[in-house]
Structure 1
Amino acid sequence: MEQSDKEAAEETDRTTDRMPLNAGDAGYGSVPGPGLSGGVGGSETAPLLIPEPEPEPAQSWRPLSKEELEVAAGGPGWRKVRCYLVVLFWLTWVALLATSIAIIAISPRPVATPLEWWQKSLFYQLRPDLYMEAQAEGSEGINVLCEQLPYLRSLGIGALILEGLFDKEVSPLNLTSVGESLGTLPQIQHLLTESNKAGLKVVLNFCELDLDVAGNRPSDLSAMHALRFWLEQGVAGFAICDTDAAYSEKTLLEWRGVFKEFSGQEEERIVVVKQTQDILPPLSNSNQNNTTLVDVVMKSILPSSHHLLSAQEVASAIETHLQTRDNLIWPSWTVGGKASHDLKKLLLVLMMTLPGSPAVQYDEEINQMQNLSLNAGSSHGEKNEPSDAPIDKKAKQLAVALFTSLSHSRAREEALLFGNFTFLPFNASTNSSSSSSFNSTLTSPPSPTLLAFLRSWGCVHFLVLLNVGPERHALDPAWAPSLPEAGVFVASTGMDRLGSTSLYTLELQPHEAIIIKLFEAGSYS
């Protein structure tokens, strides 16, 4: 019995030795629970919950030490490199700044010369007696002119040249010798006061008056006392002719001595000389004093004539003045001669764009009273039919618009005020049709009645085109290849040119003048 039990135990040990270690996978041993794998990790001895890892202890922020910074920056050698780079940066920046300043300093640029009031003003020649005769009946003499002064200032007029205040038989140095049609001396003084209030300078015209008779009659004051009297009334200057006895070095030096007494006031007093001859006579024994004794020389564009000048004569006179300009004394341009009504606006554009100060004669088309009385004149049934009134009214409105546009453009544009002047000759002989000037066809010869000039200041250019003739002409810009092709209209005699234009497509109408502000492609300066 004992031996059988011993044999059974040995058999059991041999069976156990033959069993694999992973017998649990064959279904022996513990049964894995739901959701658990049957591997070793899924046995009952494995933990059911995996504990979360404990967070690492937070490290508090602290700045790096000097040694740590040097190590992080690459060592002490990098510090010197960075210092050198910073110094090199600032040296380069200073060098660029100095180079820019040097380029700006040595670059050619126009320098604006400060202008006196008479160099910036538009003169308006006016005879008060004729002005009042042109008004409606019932006017109160010179008060009518005083009421129009603010309107004249709004047109851009800066100074009035009053003519016909004194009789030729009586010296203007007799202060009570004002023309009877103008009223009394207090009324003239009132006109001067109102002119100064309106911002208009006043120049008295002594032209063709004998200024030497003052000392021959006891009732007359001396010439110097008379000048002081008018200067005290606010007169800004005096106008004489180059044929007057006062046009002499001795007389003008005496006048300058009187002007110095009023030099402490706001504006300078001037002497205007009307040039009646082809060449201005030099002052005796002192050619260099012309620039100081005479401030303005008023020149006529057209020669004096008893008949209307033809288009060819007008073009020839304009071209002569454009080519022979006197730069010694500040010029003031006026029409002077007689031209057709069609050329009236063209000559106005010419005067407003020439270097110098324009002097415009009294014009009924820009007279405010005339514009307001258009409808009233037709109601009297005089010489115009009612159908003509709107046409006249429109023409006067265009005349005022042209005058205002020209005066304001001249006042705000430096190129038109004191810019450089370049005459563009169209009559240069050429055999090439591609280099022809204004032509109705490419093969036609240059027209002598077509003129142009350029006013420039810096990078701003104004092209003035004048078609004096009665024919229409297209522009071939090959005559001036250096000019920009594109531009914008500033003004025209018909006030019907607006917006941008190209010189390749431009066509001038008969008796038309055009002002174009040129600009490079992509530029709008």
Structure 2
Amino acid sequence: MPLNAGESGYGSVPGAGLSGGVGTSETAPLLIPEPEPEPVYEWHPMARAELEAAAGGPGWRRVRCYMVVLFWFTWVAMLAVSISIIVISPRPVGRSLTWWQRSLFYELQLDLEAQAEGSDGINAVCERLPYLKSLGVSALILEGVFQKKTSPSNLTVTAENMETLAQIQHLLMESYKADLKVMLDFCKVDPLVLKDVAGSLDKLSNQSAALQHALRFWLEQGVAGFLICDTDAAYSEETLLEWRSVLEEFSTREEERIVVVKQTGDALLPLNDSSHSNVTLVNVVIRSILPHSDHPLSTQEVADAIKTQLQTEEEEEDIWPSWTVGGQTSHELKRLLLVLMMTLPGSPAIQYNEEIDQTQTEPLERGSSQKERDEPSNAHRNKEKTRSSVLALFTTLSNSKAREEALLYGSLTFLPFNTSSNFSSSTNATVSFPSSPPILAFLRSWGCVHFLVLLNVGAKPQSLDPVWAQNLPETGVFVASSGMNHLGSTSLRALTLQPHEAMVIKLFKAGSYS
């Protein structure tokens, strides 16, 4: 048989695992090759030349441009958001105060009878003016210039006939040099009561003209304003409208001439048949912290009067107040009332105080050397120490009032104290003092600045209840105290007020330096 016979001859037998077919024995590999492994690339840092070549490429240049644009876009967006937050955020706006709203009034009684007898009373006042200015006094209220029975229609005539007219003019000139305003007290000067206006029109017209002439006379001398009582006949809508027209003739934008009304009762009497607001006709109302009384008020009566005034201030009002002590009280509470008067909203009206006006008592002390020799030296030193502390207290409060916005026109918030949880400094335990008034406290706030005023009217030490003080910043700095014996920072949770003590503390949160 031939070797190639048949289709399935020897030469056409396919090998194992191979596709059979004609001619496949010549082309198919006898062994299947293994797949070659993929090449492995090892990472290695780029050389400097390679890095420079890649960084200078167009791709990286685009990335850098995008990053710069994104940075500046983000920065501008953050700036715009910050400005928007500042603009839309509520913030206190400082008030533009007039001179009488920034002033500290000092009521000074002039003894014209002593002046007529040859005393140097007015000259002594002129010598004390720079000293009063250094204490922070801005305006003087001269009392006793006119007799109480003098009719306002004769004010000019009486003044021109007085032998002391030249001295008063000298006082006005020296006050101008010392940058002190001077106001004349007309309170209770006018005894006339106009009952029948229709039957005395001519007389009323003459009196009105004479009164306006008197006002112009003193305004020409440099007087900054006038003080009347709310019980005077001049306290009427018709009279005050006439006064306002005269005052506007002498007023400038920088120096306004004003009318001050002294409130004699618990509330300001309304103007007679008034259709206008009292605010448009009077500038300042002097109020008494304590009610007038024939006997010294007890500590409970003083505490009730102060609490009433503080609660009333929360609800008020458009009229600008000025504060004076008014009623009689014990000597121990004088410093506490001074602190209260200087921290209430408005302009304080300080009555003459020899412990503050120490220039007045120096000649008397030099003239009483024999008495000082008889007096024990330690008592004399204690007296001088007391006077120095009162003067330091007044100066500190005056300076704080002048520069702190919160004390100038900040809001007042009365803080009721929980009387059932007072703490005794000696036992450090909860004690109830039914006979001792609780601590009176209020806040003067402007923006994020808060001044806490604490008043212990009672005769026993009292501490702050931590529950009561938990809503306030815990730490603060002493601004002033009635004894001027506290300095530096303090914690409200460890604070104890001594009997008849007052404190002024500037509060701040931890980490804040406002």
Q: TM-score, normalised by structure 2?
A: 0.80
For residue 123 of structure 2, the aligned residue among 143, 147, 153 is 143
- Corresponding residue of 1:174: 155
Q: SS where residue 79 of structure 1 aligns? A: helix
Deviation at 1:412, TM superposition (A): 1.1
1:154 paired residue among 134, 140, 144 = 134
For the 8 Å contact 2:450–2:506, the answer to whether it is kept is: yes
Unmatched tracts of structure 1, length 5 or more: 1-67, 431-435
Root-mean-square deviation (CA, aligned residues, Å) is: 3.0
Alignment of 1:315 onto 2:308? no
- Residues 193-208 of structure 1: matches in 2 within 5 Å? 193-208=173-188
| Structure 1 runs (4+) greater than 4 angstroms displaced | 68-72, 130-133, 211-221, 284-288, 437-440
Q: 1:185 to 1:218 in 2, by over 3 A?
A: farther
Q: Tell me how far apart the structure 2 counterparts of residues 257 and 191 of structure 1 sit (CA, whole Å).
A: 26
Tell whether the 8 Å contact from 1:149 to 1:195 is kept in structure 2 after alignment: yes
Matches within 5 A, 1:41-190: 72-129=54-111, 139-172=119-152, 173-178=154-159, 183-190=163-170
- Cα 1:179/1:324, change in 2 over 3 Å: farther
What is the CA distance between 1:263 and its match in structure 2? 2.7
Where 2:441 maps in the other structure, the secondary structure is strand
Match of 2:255 in 1: 267
Q: Does 1:296 align with 2:281?
A: no
Instruction: Kindly indicate whether residue 388 of structure 2 is the aligned counterpart of residue 408 of structure 1.
Output: no
Distance 1:262 1:438 in 2: 57
Measured in 1, the distance between the counterparts of 2:464 and 2:119 equals 50
Pair 1:346 & 2:333 matched: no
CA pair 379-220 structure 1, distance change in 2 beyond 3 A: farther
Contact 2:440 2:455 in 1 (8 A): yes
Tell me what 1:484 maps to. Answer: 473
Q: Distance in 2 between matches of 1:139 and 1:207?
A: 25
Matched, 1:522 2:504: no
Q: In the alignment, which residue of structure 1 is the partner of 2:354?
A: 364
Of 262, 265, 276, which residue of structure 2 is paired with 1:277? 265
CA distance in 2: counterparts of 1:167 and 1:138, whole angstroms: 19
The Cα offsets for residues 21-60 of structure 1, whole Å up to 9 and x where unpaired, read as xxxxxxxxxxxxxxxxxxxxxxxxxxxxxxxxxxxxxxxx
CA distance in 2, matches of 1:132, 1:313: 38
> Contact 2:372 / 2:380 at 8 angstroms: preserved in 1?
no
TM (norm. structure 1) is 0.79
* Offset of residue 495 of structure 1: 1.1
* 1:327/1:219 CA distance change after superposition, 3 Å: closer
Equivalence for 1:234: 222
Q: Deviations over 1:449-475 (max 9, x none)?
A: 421111111221111111111111222
Instruction: Give the 3-state SS of the residue equivalent to 1:480 in structure 2.
Output: coil
Q: Distance in 2 between matches of 1:179 and 1:382?
A: 44
| Superposition deviation, residue 171 in structure 1 | 2.5
User: In structure 2, do the counterparts of structure 1 residues 381 and 81 end up closer, same or farther at CA, with 3 Å as the change threshold?
Assistant: closer
Shift of 1:219: 11
- Deviation track 1:371-402 (CA, whole Å, cap 9, x = no partner) reads 42364244143896243332222221222111
Aligned length: 449
Report the CA distance between 1:240 and its aligned residue. Answer: 0.7
User: Which deviates more from structure 2 when the two are superposed, residues 480-489 or residues 378-387?
Assistant: 378-387
1:186-222 deviation digits (Å, cap 9, x = unpaired): 1111111111111111111111121769968999971
Cα separation, 1, equivalents of 2:387 and 2:433: 37
Rg larger in 1 or in 2?
Answer: 1
Check the 8 A contact 2:112/2:144 in 1, yes or no: no
- CA displacement 1:417-444 (0-9 Å, x = unmatched): 111111111157x6xxxxx356663253
Q: 1:514, CA displacement in angstroms?
A: 0.9
Task: Please state how far the C-alpha of 1:124 moved relative to its aligned partner.
Answer: 0.6
Do the aligned partners of 2:231 and 2:264 also contact (CA within 8 Å) in 1? yes
What SS is found at the alignment partner of 1:271?
Answer: strand
Q: Is the 8 A contact 1:161 1:205 kept in 2?
A: yes
> Any unmatched runs of 5+ in structure 2?
1-49, 194-201
> CA shift at 1:77, angstroms?
3.5
Q: Per-residue deviation at 1:73?
A: 3.3
Deviation at 1:76, TM superposition (A): 2.6
**Aligned pair 1:398/2:389, yes or no?**
yes
Q: In structure 2, how many angstroms separate the alpha carbons of the residues matched to 1:373 and 1:232? A: 35
Please tell me whether the aligned partners of residues 424 and 461 of structure 2 are also in contact (alpha carbons under 8 angstroms).
no
**Residues 1:438 and 1:338: Cα distance change in structure 2 (over 3 Å):** farther
What letter corresponds to residue 488 of structure 2 in structure 1? G
Q: Distance in 1 between matches of 2:400 and 2:279?
A: 28
- Residue type matched to 1:192 in 2? L
C-alpha deviation, 1:84, in angstroms? 2.7
Equivalent residues of 1:402, 1:492 under 8 A apart: yes
Distance change >3 Å, CA 383–CA 178, structure 1 → 2: farther
CA positional deviation for 1:266 = 3.0
In the aligned structure 2, how far is the partner of 1:177 from the partner of 1:515?
Answer: 47
| Equivalent of 2:317 in 315, 323, 327 | 327
The alpha carbon displacement at 1:477 in A equals: 2.8
SS of corresponding position for 2:402: helix
Q: Whole-Å Cα distance in 1 between the matches of residues 97 and 363 of structure 2?
A: 39
Q: Give the C-alpha shift of residue 335 in structure 1.
A: 0.5
Q: Provide the residue aligned with 2:416 in structure 1.
A: 425
Contact kept in structure 2, 1:174 and 1:220, CA below 8 Å: no
Distance 1:389 1:501, change over 3 A: same
Q: Deviations over 1:323-360 (max 9, x none)?
A: 01232200101000000111011100000000111111
Asked if the contact 1:131–1:145 (Cα under 8 Å) also holds between the matched residues in 2, the reply is no
CA contact (8 A) 2:54 2:60 kept: no
- Shift in CA distance, 384/399, structure 1 to aligned 2, threshold 3 Å: farther
Against the structure 1 CA distance between its residues 510 and 183, is the aligned structure 2 distance closer, same or farther, given a 3 Å change threshold? farther
Once residues 227 and 191 of structure 2 are traced to their aligned partners in structure 1, the CA distance between those partners, rounded to angstroms, is: 12
Q: Secondary structure at the match of 2:371?
A: coil
Identity %: 66
